[in-house]
Amino acid sequence: MRCVIVEDLPAAAEYLKKCCEKSGMIEVLAHCLSVKDAIDFLSKNSVDLIFLDVEMPEGRGFDVLDNITCSSKVILTTSKTEYAYSAFEYNVTDFLKKPFTYKRFMEAVKKVSGSSTEIQKENGGEDHIFIKSDGKLVRLKNDDILYIESMGDYVRFVMQERKYIALNTIKNLETKINSQLFMKVHRSYIVNTSKVDNVHENTLLIKETKIPVSKAFKAEVARRFHSI
Amino acid sequence: MSGHTSLNTFIFSDKIDAVYMYEMYENDYGYIETMFKAILDGFKEDLAAIRDNYLQKNLESLRKSIHKIKPTFGFAGMLDVQEKCKEFESKCQVVKSVGELETDFPALIKCLEEAGVIVTEEYKKLKAFNKSGS
């Protein structure tokens, strides 16, 4: 897992770095000392996990979450238990009260890796999805889907041979489809990564159709389609 | 609070909870030395910020600066100092002006200064201990 530490207390950041190193499963990409630094970093980089302090200079850790669009898991690190309710509202994976032991740290990390596995199990085992279209359930093989496009309250599944329209949203679909094969690249598009022919700076090409990549997903796209 | 007494074990000041330190770091004294250095690196600046905010009578900034320094002492195994910071931070949220803290503030500053001295001394001892390869 790749993580970023957002923490203004050097001792706490040092402790977290060591815990990550000791775990052997977390690579620390950066340490941000302020909310602004964290937003800047996360707009350009993609991480699996954010260790987030709450009370920071010039803002609260939650401001980071309000200003980024990535789907990273979050572990709050704070010395104030009063933030537990907000933690719940922001759907963070765990809450570490500073200072915490390595054992407690690992419990939190296991929740993160556990939840990732759960999502993969939920989506990864199936090679197809069922959608309701024209009043019937239609089985779509994952491998036949090129991309999915938003049409307001509906989505269009663009296949090799034909298209299907179904009542659904991109936001809902992104949590339900196979995350190893599909990825959201724009608020209106989810693409089948195995069908991408080439990647430009702000677009992907699938069978001669240009799919826009929004700024928020650029880092994740770059990570998924890195060259060898 | 009690220090470990076995051979090859660093004996902490009796102001530091050695059992808690073991829970946090086991007996990784190199790691503890790094932590104490990190604590000392930010300590003077954080203490100065507390004093400034008190003198400026800025209640919310004073609370924030106490909040920031609070866990520092937990990482150094001085949970009683952390608790005192917590109590003071809570008072900051109850009172209406910094003036209402004039009896509590000097006691807190004294406590923090003493804690700083202890961490400094322990850091020196740890450095020597680690250097000796014990």
DSSP A55-73: EETTEEHHHHHHT-----E
**Is the model's pLDDT at A125 over the cut of 60?**
no
| Distance in angstroms (rounded) separating the CA atoms of residues A28 and A21 | 8
Cβ–Cβ gap A101/B68 under 8 Å: no
Q: Is B40 in the A-facing interface, judged by CB distances under 8 Å?
A: no
pLDDT for A32-46, tens place per residue?
999 999 999 998 888
What average pLDDT score do residues A115-131 get?
Answer: 58
Select from A12, A80, A101 the Cβ nearest to the Cβ of B23: A101
pLDDT for B33-65, tens place per residue?
999 999 999 899 999 999 999 999 999 999 999
CB A146 within 8 A of CB A192: yes
Cβ–Cβ gap A10/B38 under 8 Å: yes
Select from B23, B70, B75 the Cβ nearest to the Cβ of A15: B75
Instruction: Tell me how many degrees the CA angle A143-A116-A95 measures, rounded to the nearest 5.
Output: 155
pTM summary value: 0.65
What average pLDDT score do residues A120-126 get?
Answer: 49
Pick the residue with more confidence: B116 or A201? B116
User: Which residues in chain B have Cβ-Cβ distances shorter than 8 Å to A102?
Assistant: 24-26
CB A195 within 8 A of CB A206: yes
What average pLDDT score do residues A112-129 get?
Answer: 58
Task: Quote the DSSP letter at residue A35.
Answer: H
Cβ–Cβ gap B35/A14 under 8 Å: yes
**Is the model's pLDDT at A124 over the cut of 50?**
no
Query: Closest approach of chain A CAs to the CA of B42, in angstroms?
Result: 7
User: Which residues in chain B have Cβ-Cβ distances shorter than 8 Å to A101?
Assistant: 23-24
Query: Closest approach of chain B CAs to the CA of A103, in angstroms?
Result: 8
**Is the model's pLDDT at A118 over the cut of 70?**
no
User: Which residues in chain B have Cβ-Cβ distances shorter than 8 Å to A14?
Assistant: 34-35, 38
| Distance in angstroms (rounded) separating the CA atoms of residues B31 and A20 | 13
Query: Closest approach of chain A CAs to the CA of B9, in angstroms?
Result: 20
CB A21 within 8 A of CB B34: no
Tokens encoding A212: 């826009």
Tell me what pLDDT residue A113 has.
75
Q: Which residues on chain A place their C-beta less than 8 Å from a C-beta of chain B?
A: 8-15, 18, 55, 79-80, 98-99, 101-103
Tell me what pLDDT residue A121 has.
44
CB pairs under 8 A between A and B: 51
Select from A8, A13, A102 the Cβ nearest to the Cβ of B68: A8
**Tens-binned pLDDT, residue by residue, of chain B (134 aa):** 444 434 468 899 999 999 899 888 888 899 999 999 999 998 999 999 999 999 999 999 999 999 999 999 999 999 999 999 999 999 999 999 999 999 999 999 999 999 999 999 999 999 999 988 75
Tokens encoding B121: 């001394």
Choose from A14, A17, A22 for mutation: most chain B CBs within 10 A: A14
